[in-house]
Amino acid sequence: MNCIKSLQQICDQLSEDIDSPLCQEIKEHLEQCPKCCAHVDSIKKVIYLYQNESKTDVPEAVDNRLWKVLNLQKPE
């Protein structure tokens, strides 16, 4: 499992440079923690599936719950 591919995206969301101490700490942790690595991989898969799913096929309640769980603001 290679969850390090998402490191740049994680750091971008944190407004951090990929070489910053915080991003390096995240990278090191993910390399040593299968549980966190699996969690990051699961999130990537959900986002991929959600982005490729037709909006009309996702019930509104599921859509709202996903935005809330991801702690993101739903676009209007």
Please give the pLDDT value at position 71.
78
Averaged pLDDT for residues 57-71: 82
Please give the pLDDT value at position 42.
83
Q: What does pTM read for this prediction?
A: 0.49
Q: Band of the pLDDT at 1, cuts 50, 70, 90?
A: very low
Give the amino acid at 57: D
Q: What are the pLDDT digits (tens) for 13-48?
A: 667 777 888 888 888 888 888 888 888 788 778 777
SS3 per residue for 2-16: CHHHHHHHHHHHCCC
Question: Residue ranges of the domains in the chain?
Answer: 3-69
Q: pLDDT above 70 covers what percent of the chain?
A: 75
Residue 29, burial from CB neighbour count under 10 angstroms (0-12, 13-18, 19+): exposed
